[in-house]
C-alpha cells in the first residue's frame, strides 16, 4: 500500500471502503478524485487505481476524473470497484464554470470549451494562453508581435465592445478569482519629435499579466463564451471569461516533475525585396552615399541619401551632372534581414506535489529564459507557486496559494520612428550589421533620417522589470449536506518598472537631445467572493441548486513617470544624467460590487433550467446610474431517451438555449468634464490648467448586451463522433462609446451612449476518433467558426464611428459590419475598369466623382474588412504505444490588413515589385475617346519611382495597392513525444521519462506580401484591427525537451 | 422569483460589502480641477502657450512655401493641413479663452476680458489666413454642437476687428475689479496692459492691410495707418513668448538639435539667402557685402561666409545650378537657441506695415517708385528696429545705396524684401506673398519650387492649408461645403 496514513475522525458507522478504479480496458486509473457527496471528504486513487476511504453506509461516493465520465456509487459494503467510462465526447465531463464551480457538461445551457495543457504541448512558449490558439471555436487569439515576452490578444466571439479605446479582452479567472490582465501602454514619448499616437500602444509590444502564469502550473483552461456563461461574473466578464484551474497535489507523493526544454526561433517570412538597384535619388539617381571606411562618418556623400531609386548594382560608375565620375564598383546587395538572430528560449520547470487525505500541497518553480530574434532583446521569467489545502474538520477546508513571478525584458520599438519603420525604409545597399563607427557613433547612410535598425536595437530599447505577487485564501464550509459556503479573498499585486533609453542620435530622441523615461506601475487588486450553495434532491426526479453570492473587486493602478530629456553624457542611461525632467502621475481606481443568485432545476437528468440574476454597483458610472440588474435564463434538454431508443448510431443528443443580459459601464474617469494640468507646464515658473478635451455624458447609463444562444450537442457511434454547434447573437444597446468630435467643437471626444450594434456567429466543433483500438488512437477535432456584426443604430448627430484614421481607415456607419475598412480607390468608368487620364496614369479619388482628391466631394469608400470570413482548424492527436504525435492546422479565410511598412518600402523602391522601373508600360484601363466616351487605354507611361510608385495622387494611396488579403493557412503546431517505459527508467529511479520535439508555425501559406500577417500594429488590449507592419514579426520555432518524474 | 432574488441580493449586499455611497466616488481623474477652482490667471498661461504653438506649426509648413527654408536636402513641401495648428487653436486656445471671457464677464474684469479678446483675434487670424473659412460663431460649444458650421473669411475678419475694437475700448476704459494678468501667467507682457493695448492697435493694422484687394489698396492702407499710429513704439513691445532651457524652443529642437545628431531637419532656402547676400539686391556701397542678419539666421556647412542656400524643390541644388547648397539654420542663433522667443508680431513689422501702408496710400503700386517721407522713415526704422533686436549694427547696411535708396526711389519690393527678412519664421510672410499673388515685382526672384512641374500642382502655388483629416471625418458636411484645392486663393487674395 502506498497510502500515507493519517489520523481520521471517526464517525458513527464509518467503515473503510476500498476498491479499484479502472478504465474500460481494465487498466487502473491513478489520480481519480473520490469524494463523499455533500462533504469535503475525499481522496485520490493511487498509481494502481486503488483507493481507500472512510464512509458510512448510504453515503454516495462520487468518482471524478478529467477526461472520464463522473460516476456516483452508493456505499453498500466495504468494497466498491468502479469502471469509469472515457468521455471521448467530453459529454459528461466535469467542466469548470463561473467561480470555479464544477458542473457536468451535460447540464449546461451554454457553451464551454475546455483545454488541458497536458494535451497541448506548450513547451517553448512563455504565455500559457497560447494553449488555446486554434483549439477553441469562436476564440481568436493572436500574438500581437513576435517579440520575446510579447502580448497575446484574445477575442471571444469577435468584438464585444465597439469602442476603439476599450479592450475586448476576456476576464481571466485563476482558481475562482480574477487576475488583472491589463496591458499598461504608458507614455514613452519625448515632449517633441515623435509623430506617434500619444500613449504609445503602437510603440512597444507590452506583455499582459496572464502571461505571468507558469504554463506548467495549469491543469485546465475553460473558455466561457457568451453572456449566459459569464452572467454571474458580471460586467468584467462582458467579453467572456477564461477560467484557469491550477494543478493541485494528488494523494501520495511527494512527486517531483522536472521539465527541461530548448527552443529555437527564426523569422522566415519577410517581404520580398528588389536586389537590382542601389540607393539613389528618386529623380536624378545620384548616389547619396557611398561607403568609404576612410571617411569620418563612413561615407562619401553626394546628396541626400534616403531612397533605393538609384542605378543598378551592375553599374560600376556614375557620372554626376557636372561630369565627375563616381566609382560604384564595390556596391552590392545586402539583405536587411541579416538583422535577425536565431532566438533561443530555455526553460526549466520543476514541481513537487503530494497529498495526504487531509493535506495537499503543490510547489513549482520555473525559469524561462528567452533571447529574442532581434539582437539585444530578451525576456526572462521566473515563477514560483505554492498551493496547499488542509481539511480542518470533516466539513471545513481551507486552501491557499501564493505565487510570485519576476520577469525582466528588453523589448524593441515598433510603430512611428522605430526599428521597424527604419527597417521598412532601409536601402539594402548598406550592410545593416555595420551599425557603428569607430568612435561608437551611428553608422548612418541617410543623415539620420532613417536610423540604422541595428544601432537602434543595440542602443535603445524598453527594459521592464516586473514583480507580481498573488496570494489568496479560501475557506469551504459545509454546515449541512445540502449547503456549502465558500469564501475566497485574493490580493493581486504587481509593480513594474520600465525604462526607455533613447540616445540623442536616434531620430525619435533628436528633438530633445536624447531622453530617458522611467515608469513605475503599481497595481493592487482586492477580490472577495462569497458563495453560498444550497443543493437539494426533492425526489428522484427533481433536483434544485441555489447559489447566492457577493463579489467585491477593488483595484488601484498607480502610475508615475519621470522623463528626463537632454542627456548630459549621451551614452549614460540614468535620470541624473538628464538636464530637464518632466513628471506625470495618475491613479486609476475601479470599484465594483456585485450580488448574484443562480437557481438551477434539474428534472430526471434530462431537463435543466437555470435562472441567474446579478446586480452590480460600478464606480465608473454617475451616482444615479451606478446600480443595475441583469438576468439570464437557460434551458438544456437531453432528448435522446425521449425521442430515440438508445441506438448504436445515435448515442446522445442535447439542445440548449439561453438568453442573457449583461450591463457594462464606461472606463475610468470618463464621466463629466474636468480641467487638467497643462502637460507642458510649469513653464517659465508658471503653472497652468486647461479644459480637458474629453467629455463624458453625466447621464450615461449602462450599456446592455442582450444575448441569445442556441446550441446542440450530438454524439454518434457510442461517442466515437461528436458534434457541437452553437448559434448566437447579441444586441448591444446604448453602447458606451467615446465619439470622436470635430476639434472645432473644443472637444476631441465625447463618451456617451451612442447607438446599437449586433453581433452574431456560429461555432461548430466536430471531434471523433478516426482510429481507435487498443494500440492506436487517432483523434481529430475540427473547429470552425464564423462571426459577424453590424452597427444597427447611431445617434442622429453621428454619421460614423472611427476606429483608426489612416490611408486605410477603420470605421463603420449604420449597416456596416464591424471591422469595415474604408479607403481611397482608383477612379473607374461605367464598365468598372479603371479610368486612365491623358497622362497615362490611373487616378485615385476615392469615389466615382471625377476630380482630384483635394476638391469635390470625394470620400473614402468601403474597401474591405479586417475580420476573417471564417476560421477553422483541425487538431490531430495520435497515440500509439508510447509514442504520441499531434499536429494542428489552422486556416483563417479572409480578413484584410493594411501593412504600414509595405507602403514605406514601396515608396522607397525597396520592394521586389519596384524592380520594374524605368520602362514604359501601358496601364490597363479606359481612357477618354475624345467624344465623351472611353476606349481601352493605349497611352504608355514611364514607370519610375517619382512618377509611379511614389505618386500619391495616382498610385500608392489606392486601397487596391495598400490593402491586402491576410488569409493564411498555418501548420500551427506539430509535436512528437515518446514515453520511456523500459527497465532503465526504473533503474534510474524514475517514475516517468519522456522526450519530445515540437515545431510551431513552421508552414505558412498566405497571399500576403509582408511579414507574417498575424501580428497586429497595436499592442494587446487595443481594439483596432486591420493594421500590421512596423512590429516585431512572428517567428517559427523548434523545441526539444525532456521530462523526468520521480 | 425575481423579486425574491432581489431581496436576498439586497440583504447580502448590506451584510457583506457594508459599502456606503461614497465608496464608489473614486472616478475623478487625479490632478483634475473643476472650473470654479481655477482663476483666470491659471488658464491664461496655457492659452498663450498654445497660441504661440499654433503659429509655430503653421510656419513649419508655410516657411517652406515662403522659401525661408526647404525640407531636408532641398525638398519643397506639398499640401499641408497644419493639423498641429488646428489642435492648438480649437482644442486648447479658443475653448479656454471662452472660459476666461465668461469669468471676466462675471467678475466685471474688463481688462482681462480685453486680453482674452486680443488672443482670440490672433487665433482667428492664424486660422482664417491658413484655411479661409473656419468655424467660430458656432465653434467651441462642446457637446452642444459637435459639428460646428463654418463662417466665411469675410465674417471672421469682421469678428477680428470687432474683438480688437472691443479690447481697445475696454483697455482704454477703467477696470476696478482687481483682476489683472500677473507677471507670471502673462507669458507675453508680464501684466503690462499698455503693451496689450498697443498690440491690439498693431494687430488691427496688420489685418486692415490684409484687405487691400477687398477694400482697395488706398482705403486698406489708410485704415492700417490710423491703427498703427497707436501701435507698438519700441522693440520692447514685441508680442513674443520666450522658451526656456527646459521647455526648449521648437525651432531649436528641430533645426539645431536634430541636425547636430544627424537627424531630419530643414535647410535654409536660396530665396532667403539671395535677399541677404547681395544676389537679388547687389550691395553697391562697398562697405557691406552681406546682410549682417544672415549669420544670425544661418550658417554654412564649412563655417565660411559663402552662403549657398537650397533651391526649393531642387534636391540640394543652389542658385548656380550645382548641387553644392550648404546653408542650414544657425546653431544657437537668435531664433534657434533653446530659450529663443517665437515672435507673433513685432515693432519692426509695425513699421513695415506703416511703410507699406504709406506707400500704398500715396498711390503706390507693385511697380511704382517713390513714397512719402514718413513712409520712407518707417521703412528705415523698421530695418533698424529689427537689426537692433537681433543685436547687429544697422548703420552700414542702411547706408548702402541698395537699401537706403531714398524716398523718391523706394519701391514696394524694397519694403517687402525688408519685411520678408525681418519676419523670418513668421507666417505673416505667407500672407504678404498671397496678397501680391507671388508677384516677382514685389518678391524678386520668387519662383515655383524646382520640382513643381512633376508634382501634383504643376504651375501653381500652394496658397492655403487643407482642413485636417480629423475635421474632415468628424465634421464632413461643413468641411465639404468649404473645402477647396490648396491652389485656390483665400477670399482676401481673390
- pLDDT tens string A661-673: 988 888 899 999 9
Please state, in angstroms and rounded to a whole number, the distance separating the CA atoms of residues A1007 and A211: 31
Tell me: ipTM over 0.90: yes
Q: Cα angle at A482 between A477 and A486, to 5 degrees?
A: 30
The average pLDDT across A107-117 equals: 77
Average pLDDT score, chain B: 93
Give the gap in angstroms from C-alpha A448 to the nearest C-alpha of chain B.
4
Q: What is the pLDDT of residue B21?
A: 66
Q: What is the pLDDT of residue A559?
A: 93
Q: Percentage of chain A with pLDDT > 70?
A: 91
Please state, in angstroms and rounded to a whole number, the distance separating the CA atoms of residues A555 and A526: 6
Q: What is the pLDDT of residue A121?
A: 58
Mutation to test the B interface, candidates A746, A823, A846, most B Cβ within 10 Å? A746
> No. of H helices and E strands in chain A?
7, 59
Contact A212, A127 (CB under 8 A): no
Please state, in angstroms and rounded to a whole number, the distance separating the CA atoms of residues A165 and B382: 53
Is the pLDDT at B343 greater than 80, yes or no? yes
Is the pLDDT at B46 greater than 90, yes or no? yes
Mutation to test the A interface, candidates B51, B183, B261, B488, most A Cβ within 10 Å? B261
Q: What is the pLDDT of residue A310?
A: 94
Least confident segment among A246-260, A437-451, A835-849: A835-849
Q: What is the pLDDT of residue A529?
A: 93
Q: Which residues pair with A712 in a beta bridge?
A: A655, A725
- Round to the nearest angstrom and report the end-to-end CA distance of chain A: 18
The average pLDDT across B335-345 equals: 96
The average pLDDT across B341-355 equals: 98
Is the pLDDT at A618 greater than 90, yes or no? yes
Highest mean pLDDT among A571-585, B258-272, B303-317, B429-443: B429-443
Contact B42 A687 (CB under 8 A): yes
> Nearest chain B Cα to A588, which residue?
B29
A797 reaches B (C-beta below 8 A): yes
Give the confidence band of A1019 by pLDDT, cuts at 50, 70, 90: low
Mutation to test the B interface, candidates A197, A459, A744, A855, most B Cβ within 10 Å? A744
Contact A355, A391 (CB under 8 A): no
| Contacts with B253 from chain A: Cβ below 8 Å | 192-193, 511-512
Least confident segment among A198-207, A310-319, A679-688, B448-457: A198-207
pTM across the whole model: 0.85
Q: Cα angle at B151 between B149 and B155, to 5 degrees?
A: 160
The average pLDDT across B420-430 equals: 98
Q: Which residue has the higher pLDDT, A161 or A620?
A: A620
Please state, in angstroms and rounded to a whole number, the distance separating the CA atoms of residues A511 and A506: 10
What angle separates helix B347-361 from helix B193-209, to the nearest 10 degrees? 40
Mutation to test the B interface, candidates A502, A525, A743, A844, most B Cβ within 10 Å? A743
Q: What is the pLDDT of residue A968?
A: 93
Burial class (CB in 10 A: 0-12, 13-18, 19+), B471: buried
A682: cis peptide before it, omega within 30°?
Answer: yes
Q: What is the pLDDT of residue B30?
A: 86
Is the pLDDT at B19 greater than 60, yes or no? no
Burial class (CB in 10 A: 0-12, 13-18, 19+), A989: exposed
Q: From B127, B93, B102, B343, select the one nearest A678 (Cα to Cα).
A: B93
Q: Which residues pair with B448 in a beta bridge?
A: none
B79 reaches A (C-beta below 8 A): yes
Give the confidence band of A66 by pLDDT, cuts at 50, 70, 90: low
Q: Is A702 left (phi over 0), alpha (psi -120 to 50) or beta?
A: beta
Q: Which residues pair with A611 in a beta bridge?
A: A599, A633
The average pLDDT across A946-966 equals: 89
What pLDDT, in 10s, does the model give residues B458-469?
899 999 999 998
What pLDDT, in 10s, does the model give residues A128-149?
777 788 788 888 777 666 666 6
Q: Which residue has the higher pLDDT, A558 or A40?
A: A558
Least confident segment among A49-58, A456-465, B409-418: A49-58
Q: What is the pLDDT of residue B210?
A: 98
Q: What is the pLDDT of residue A123?
A: 63
B108 reaches A (C-beta below 8 A): no
Q: What is the pLDDT of residue A171?
A: 87
Nearest to B8 among A444, A597, A686 (CB): A597
Is the pLDDT at A852 greater than 70, yes or no? no
Least confident segment among A77-91, A774-788, B91-105: A77-91
SS3 A422: helix
Please state, in angstroms and rounded to a whole number, the distance separating the CA atoms of residues B424 and A726: 69
The average pLDDT across A54-77 equals: 81
Please state, in angstroms and rounded to a whole number, the distance separating the CA atoms of residues A909 and A426: 10
Is the pLDDT at A692 greater than 80, yes or no? yes
B46 reaches A (C-beta below 8 A): yes
Is the pLDDT at A900 greater than 60, yes or no? yes
Average pLDDT score, chain A: 86
Is the pLDDT at A203 greater than 80, yes or no? no
Q: Percentage of chain B with pLDDT > 90?
A: 82
CA A234 to chain centre: 21
Is the pLDDT at A196 greater than 70, yes or no? no
Give the gap in angstroms from C-alpha A328 to the nearest C-alpha of chain B.
19
Give the confidence band of A98 by pLDDT, cuts at 50, 70, 90: confident
SS3 A968: strand
The average pLDDT across B479-488 equals: 92
What is the interface size between A and B, counted as CB pairs within 8 Å? 308
Least confident segment among A239-248, A636-645, B89-98, B339-348: A636-645
Q: What is the pLDDT of residue A1025?
A: 83
Torsion A118-A120-A124-A125 (CA) sign: negative
Please state, in angstroms and rounded to a whole number, the distance separating the CA atoms of residues B443 and B273: 13
Nearest to B261 among A448, A671, A797 (CB): A448
Please state, in angstroms and rounded to a whole number, the distance separating the CA atoms of residues A871 and A783: 8
The average pLDDT across A835-843 equals: 90
Give the gap in angstroms from C-alpha B378 to the nearest C-alpha of chain A.
34
Give the gap in angstroms from C-alpha B435 to the nearest C-alpha of chain A.
23
Contact B97, A691 (CB under 8 A): no
Nearest to B476 among A284, A322, A799 (CB): A799
Least confident segment among A17-21, A33-37, A413-417, B237-241: A413-417
What pLDDT, in 10s, does the model give residues A904-934?
999 999 999 999 999 999 999 999 998 988 9
The average pLDDT across A429-457 equals: 89
B45 reaches A (C-beta below 8 A): yes
Question: Mind giving me the DSSP string for A323-340?
Answer: S-EEE-TT-----GGGG-
Is the pLDDT at A603 greater than 70, yes or no? yes
Is the pLDDT at A870 greater than 90, yes or no? yes
Q: Which residues pair with A1041 in a beta bridge?
A: A261, A996
Contact B264 A281 (CB under 8 A): no
What angle separates helix B110-131 from helix B193-209, to the nearest 10 degrees? 30
B5 reaches A (C-beta below 8 A): yes
Highest mean pLDDT among A699-708, B172-181, B430-439, B444-453: B430-439
Q: Percentage of chain A with pLDDT > 90?
A: 45
Give the gap in angstroms from C-alpha B141 to the nearest C-alpha of chain A.
6
Is the pLDDT at A1012 greater than 90, yes or no? no
Contact B9 A595 (CB under 8 A): yes
Mutation to test the A interface, candidates B146, B148, B242, B255, most A Cβ within 10 Å? B146
What pLDDT, in 10s, does the model give residues B205-250?
999 999 999 999 999 999 999 999 999 999 999 999 999 888 889 9
B315: cis peptide before it, omega within 30°?
Answer: no
Using DSSP bridges, classify how beta strands A171-174 and A241-246 pair: parallel, antiparallel or unpaired.
Answer: parallel
What pLDDT, in 10s, does the model give residues A725-738?
999 999 999 998 88
Give the confidence band of A854 by pLDDT, cuts at 50, 70, 90: low
The average pLDDT across A821-839 equals: 89
Contact A208, A1020 (CB under 8 A): yes
Give the gap in angstroms from C-alpha B303 to the nearest C-alpha of chain A.
18
Q: Which of residues 292-351 of B touch A (CB under 8 A)?
A: 315-316, 322-323
CA A637 to chain centre: 34
Give the gap in angstroms from C-alpha A409 to the nearest C-alpha of chain B.
28
Highest mean pLDDT among A175-179, A376-380, B236-240: B236-240
Q: Which residues contact A684 (CB under 8 A, 6 or more apart)?
A: B184, B187, B242, B244, B247
Nearest to B30 among A586, A742, A952 (CB): A586
Q: What is the pLDDT of residue B310?
A: 96
Contact A447 B148 (CB under 8 A): no
Using DSSP bridges, classify how beta strands A218-224 and A756-772 pair: parallel, antiparallel or unpaired.
Answer: unpaired
Contact B275, B282 (CB under 8 A): no
Using DSSP bridges, classify how beta strands A896-899 and A1027-1028 pair: parallel, antiparallel or unpaired.
Answer: parallel
What pLDDT, in 10s, does the model give residues B388-403?
999 999 999 999 999 9
| Contacts with A674 from chain B: Cβ below 8 Å | 28-29, 32-34
Amino acid at each position: 500500500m502506498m497510502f500515507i496514513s493519517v489520523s481520521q475522525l471517526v464517525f458513527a458507522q464509518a467503515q473503510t471502503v476500498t476498491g479499484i478504479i479502472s478504465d474500460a480496458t481494465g487498466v487502473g486509473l491513478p489520480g481519480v478524485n473520490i469524494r463523499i457527496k455533500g462533504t469535503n471528504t475525499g481522496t485520490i486513487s493511487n498509481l494502481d487505481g486503488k483507493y481507500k476511504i472512510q464512509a458510512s453506509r448510504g453515503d454516495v461516493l462520487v468518482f471524478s476524473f478529467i477526461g472520464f465520465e463522473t460516476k456516483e456509487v452508493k456505499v453498500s459494503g466495504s468494497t466498491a470497484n468502479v469502471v469509469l467510462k472515457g468521455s471521448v465526447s467530453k459529454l459528461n465531463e466535469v467542466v469548470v464554470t463561473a467561480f470555479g464551480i464544477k458542473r457536468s457538461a451535460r447540464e449546461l445551457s451554454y457553451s464551454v470549451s475546455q483545454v488541458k495543457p497536458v494535451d497541448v504541448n506548450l513547451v517553448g512558449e512563455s504565455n500559457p494562453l497560447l494553449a488555446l490558439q486554434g483549439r477553441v471555436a469562436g476564440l481568436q487569439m493572436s500574438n500581437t508581435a513576435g517579440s520575446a515576452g510579447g502580448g497575446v490578444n484574445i477575442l471571444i466571439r469577435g468584438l464585444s465592445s465597439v469602442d476603439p479605446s476599450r479592450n475586448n479582452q476576456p476576464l481571466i479567472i485563476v482558481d475562482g478569482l480574477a487576475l488583472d490582465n491589463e496591458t499598461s501602454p504608458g507614455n514613452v514619448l519625448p515632449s517633441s519629435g515623435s509623430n506617434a499616437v500619444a500613449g504609445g500602444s503602437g510603440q512597444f509590444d507590452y506583455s499582459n499579466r496572464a502571461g505571468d502564469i507558469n504554463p506548467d502550473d495549469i491543469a485546465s483552461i475553460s473558455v466561457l463564451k457568451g453572456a449566459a456563461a459569464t452572467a454571474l461574473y458580471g460586467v468584467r466578464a462582458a467579453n467572456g471569461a477564461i477560467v484557469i484551474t491550477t494543478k493541485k497535489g494528488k494523494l501520495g507523493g511527494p512527486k517531483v516533475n522536472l521539465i527541461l526544454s530548448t527552443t529555437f526561433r527564426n523569422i522566415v517570412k519577410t517581404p520580398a525585396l528588389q536586389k537590382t538597384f542601389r540607393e539613389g535619388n528618386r529623380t536624378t539617381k545620384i548616389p547619396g552615399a557611398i561607403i568609404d571606411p576612410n571617411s569620418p562618418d563612413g561615407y562619401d556623400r553626394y546628396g541626400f541619401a534616403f531612397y533605393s531609386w538609384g542605378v543598378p548594382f551592375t553599374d560600376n560608375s556614375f557620372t554626376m551632372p557636372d561630369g565627375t565620375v563616381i566609382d560604384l564598383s564595390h556596391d552590392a546587395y545586402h539583405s536587411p534581414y541579416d538583422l535577425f538572430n536565431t532566438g533561443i528560449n530555455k526553460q526549466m520547470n520543476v514541481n513537487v506535489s503530494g497529498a495526504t487525505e487531509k493535506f495537499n500541497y503543490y510547489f513549482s518553480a520555473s525559469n524561462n529564459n528567452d533571447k529574442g530574434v532581434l539582437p539585444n532583446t530578451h525576456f526572462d521569467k521566473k515563477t514560483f507557486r505554492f498551493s496547499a489545502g488542509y481539511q480542518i474538520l470533516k466539513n471545513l477546508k481551507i486552501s491557499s496559494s501564493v505565487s510570485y513571478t519576476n520577469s525582466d525584458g528588453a523589448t524593441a520599438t515598433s510603430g512611428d520612428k522605430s526599428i521597424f519603420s527604419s527597417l521598412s525604409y532601409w536601402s539594402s545597399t548598406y550592410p545593416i550589421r555595420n551599425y557603428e563607427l569607430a568612435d561608437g557613433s551611428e553608422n548612418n547612410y541617410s543623415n539620420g533620417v532613417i536610423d540604422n535598425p541595428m544601432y537602434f536595437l543595440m542602443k535603445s530599447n524598453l527594459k521592464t522589470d516586473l514583480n507580481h505577487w498573488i496570494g489568496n485564501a479560501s475557506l469551504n464550509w459545509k454546515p449541512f449536506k445540502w449547503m456549502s459556503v465558500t469564501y475566497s479573498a485574493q490580493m493581486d499585486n504587481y509593480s513594474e518598472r520600465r525604462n526607455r533609453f533613447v540616445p540623442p542620435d536616434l531620430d525619435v530622441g533628436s528633438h530633445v537631445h536624447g531622453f530617458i523615461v522611467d515608469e513605475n506601475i503599481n497595481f493592487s487588486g482586492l477580490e472577495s467572493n462569497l458563495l453560498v450553495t444550497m443543493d437539494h434532491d426533492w425526489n428522484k426526479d427533481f433536483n434544485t441548486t441555489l447559489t447566492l453570492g457577493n463579489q467585491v473587486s477593488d483595484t488601484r493602478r498607480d502610475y508615475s513617470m519621470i522623463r528626463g530629456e537632454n542627456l548630459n553624457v549621451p551614452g549614460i542611461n540614468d535620470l541624473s544624467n538628464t538636464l530637464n525632467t518632466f513628471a506625470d502621475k495618475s491613479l486609476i481606481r475601479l470599484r465594483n460590487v456585485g450580488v448574484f443568485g443562480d437557481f438551477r432545476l434539474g428534472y430526471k437528468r434530462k431537463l435543466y433550467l437555470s435562472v441567474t440574476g446579478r446586480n452590480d454597483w460600478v464606480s465608473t458610472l454617475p451616482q444615479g446610474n451606478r446600480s443595475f440588474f441583469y438576468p439570464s435564463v437557460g434551458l438544456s434538454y437531453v432528448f435522446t431517451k425521449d425521442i430515440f431508443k438508445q441506438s448504436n448510431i445515435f448515442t446522445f443528443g442535447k439542445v440548449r438555449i439561453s438568453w442573457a443580459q449583461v450591463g457594462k459601464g464606461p472606463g475610468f474617469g470618463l464621466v463629466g468634464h474636468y480641467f487638467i494640468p497643462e502637460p507642458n507646464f510649469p513653464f517659465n515658473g508658471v503653472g497652468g490648467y486647461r479644459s480637458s478635451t474629453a467629455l463624458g455624458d453625466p447621464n450615461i447609463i449602462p450599456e446592455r448586451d442582450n444575448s441569445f444562444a442556441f446550441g446542440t450537442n450530438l454524439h454518434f457511434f457510442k461517442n466515437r463522433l461528436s458534434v457541437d454547434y452553437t448559434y448566437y447573437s447579441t444586441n448591444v444597446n446604448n453602447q458606451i462609446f467615446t465619439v470622436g468630435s470635430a476639434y472645432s467643437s473644443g472637444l476631441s471626444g465625447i463618451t456617451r451612449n451612442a447607438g446599437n450594434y449586433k453581433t452574431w456567429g456560429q461555432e461548430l466543433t466536430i471531434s471523433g476518433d478516426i482510429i481507435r483500438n487498443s494500440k492506436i488512437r487517432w483523434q481529430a477535432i475540427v473547429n470552425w467558426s464564423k462571426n459577424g456584426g453590424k452597427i444597427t443604430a447611431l445617434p442622429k448627430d453621428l454619421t460614423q464611428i472611427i476606429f483608426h484614421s489612416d490611408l486605410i481607415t477603420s470605421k463603420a456607419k449604420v449597416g456596416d459590419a464591424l471591422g469595415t475598412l474604408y479607403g481611397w480607390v482608383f477612379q473607374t468608368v461605367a464598365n468598372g475598369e479603371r479610368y486612365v487620364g491623358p497622362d497615362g496614369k490611373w487616378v485615385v479619388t476615392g469615389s466615382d466623382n471625377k476630380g482630384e482628391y483635394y476638391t469635390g466631394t470625394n470620400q473614402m469608400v468601403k474597401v474591405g474588412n479586417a475580420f476573417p470570413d471564417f476560421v477553422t482548424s483541425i487538431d490531430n492527436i495520435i497515440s500509439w504505444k508510447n509514442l504520441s504525435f499531434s499536429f494542428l492546422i489552422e486556416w483563417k479565410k479572409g480578413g484584410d490588413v493594411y501593412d504600414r511598412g509595405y507602403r514605406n518600402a514601396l515608396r522607397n523602391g525597396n520592394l521586389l515589385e519596384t524592380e520594374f522601373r524605368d520602362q514604359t508600360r501601358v496601364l490597363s484601363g479606359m481612357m477618354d475617346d475624345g467624344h465623351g466616351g472611353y476606349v481601352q487605354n493605349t497611352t504608355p507611361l514611364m514607370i519610375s519611382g517619382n512618377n509611379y510608385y511614389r505618386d500619391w495622387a495616382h498610385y500608392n494611396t489606392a486601397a487596391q495597392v495598400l490593402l491586402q488579403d491576410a488569409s493564411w493557412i498555418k501548420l500551427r503546431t506539430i509535436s512528437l513525444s515518446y514515453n520511456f517505459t523500459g527497465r532503465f527508467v526504473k533503474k534510474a529511479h524514475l517514475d516517468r521519462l519522456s522526450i519530445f520535439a515540437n515545431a510551431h508555425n513552421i508552414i505558412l501559406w498566405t497571399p500576403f506580401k509582408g511579414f507574417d500577417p498575424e501580428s497586429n500594429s497595436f499592442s494587446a488590449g487595443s481594439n483596432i484591427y486591420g493594421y500590421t507592419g512596423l512590429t516585431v514579426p512572428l517567428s517559427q520555432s523548434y523545441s526539444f525537451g525532456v521530462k523526468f518524474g520521480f | 422569483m425575481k423579486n425574491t432574488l432581489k431581496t436576498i441580493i439586497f440583504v447580502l449586499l448590506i451584510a457583506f460589502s457594508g459599502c456606503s455611497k461614497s465608496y464608489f466616488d473614486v472616478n475623478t481623474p487625479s490632478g483634475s480641477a473643476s472650473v470654479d477652482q481655477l482663476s483666470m490667471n491659471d488658464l491664461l498661461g496655457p492659452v498663450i502657450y498654445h497660441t504661440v504653438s499654433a503659429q509655430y506649426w503653421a510656419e513649419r509648413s508655410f516657411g517652406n512655401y515662403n522659401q525661408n527654408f526647404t525640407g531636408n536636402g532641398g525638398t519643397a513641401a506639398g499640401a499641408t493641413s497644419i493639423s498641429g495648428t488646428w489642435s492648438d487653436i480649437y482644442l486648447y486656445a479658443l475653448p479656454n479663452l471662452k472660459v476666461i471671457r465668461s469669468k471676466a464677464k462675471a467678475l466685471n474684469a474688463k481688462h482681462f476680458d480685453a486680453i482674452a479678446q486680443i488672443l482670440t483675434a490672433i487665433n482667428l487670424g492664424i486660422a482664417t489666413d491658413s484655411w479661409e473659412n473656419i468655424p467660430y460663431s458656432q465653434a467651441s460649444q462642446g457637446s452642444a454642437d459637435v459639428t460646428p458650421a463654418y463662417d466665411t473669411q469675410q465674417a471672421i475678419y469682421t469678428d477680428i476687428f470687432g474683438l480688437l475694437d472691443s479690447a481697445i475700448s475696454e483697455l482704454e476704459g477703467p477696470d476696478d475689479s482687481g483682476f489683472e494678468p500677473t507677471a507670471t501667467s502673462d507669458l507675453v507682457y508680464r501684466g503690462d496692459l499698455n503693451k496689450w493695448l498697443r498690440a491690439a492697435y498693431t494687430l488691427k493694422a496688420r489685418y486692415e492691410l490684409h484687405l487691400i484687394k477687398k477694400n482697395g489698396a488706398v482705403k486698406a492702407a489708410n485704415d492700417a495707418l490710423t491703427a498703427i499710429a497707436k501701435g507698438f513704439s519700441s522693440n520692447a513691445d514685441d508680442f513674443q513668448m520666450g522658451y526656456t532651457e527646459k521647455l526648449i524652443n521648437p525651432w531649436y529642437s528641430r533645426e539645431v538639435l536634430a541636425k547636430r545628431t544627424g537627424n531630419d531637419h530643414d535647410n535654409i532656402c536660396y530665396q532667403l539667402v539671395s535677399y541677404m547676400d547681395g544676389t537679388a539686391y547687389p550691395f553697391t556701397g562697398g562697405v557691406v557685402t552681406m546682410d549682417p542678419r544672415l549669420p544670425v539666421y544661418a550658417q554654412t556647412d564649412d563655417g565660411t561666409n559663402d552662403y549657398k542656400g537650397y533651391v526649393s524643390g531642387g534636391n540640394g541644388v543652389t542658385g548656380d545650378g550645382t548641387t553644392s547648397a550648404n546653408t542650414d539654420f544657425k546653431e544657437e542663433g537668435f531664433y534657434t537657441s533653446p530659450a529663443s522667443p517665437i515672435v507673433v508680431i513685432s515693432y519692426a513689422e509695425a513699421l513695415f506695415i506703416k511703410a507699406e501702408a504709406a506707400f500704398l496710400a500715396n498711390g503706390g503700386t507693385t511697380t511704382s517708385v517713390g513714397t512719402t517721407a514718413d513712409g520712407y522713415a518707417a521703412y528705415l526704422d523698421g530695418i533698424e528696429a529689427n537689426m537692433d533686436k537681433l543685436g547687429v549694427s544697422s548703420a552700414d547696411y542702411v547706408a548702402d545705396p541698395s537699401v537706403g535708396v531714398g524716398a523718391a526711389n523706394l519701391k514696394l519690393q524694397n519694403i517687402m524684401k525688408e519685411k520678408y527678412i525681418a519676419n523670418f519664421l513668421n507666417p505673416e510672410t505667407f500672407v504678404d506673398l498671397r496678397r501680391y499673388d507671388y508677384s516677382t515685382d514685389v518678391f524678386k526672384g520668387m519662383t515655383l519650387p524646382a520640382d513643381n512641374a512633376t508634382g501634383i500642382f504643376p504651375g501653381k502655388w500652394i496658397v492655403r492649408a487643407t482642413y485636417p483629416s480629423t475635421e474632415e471625418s468628424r465634421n464632413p458636411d461643413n468641411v465639404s461645403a468649404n473645402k477647396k484645392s490648396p491652389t485656390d486663393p483665400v477670399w482676401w487674395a481673390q
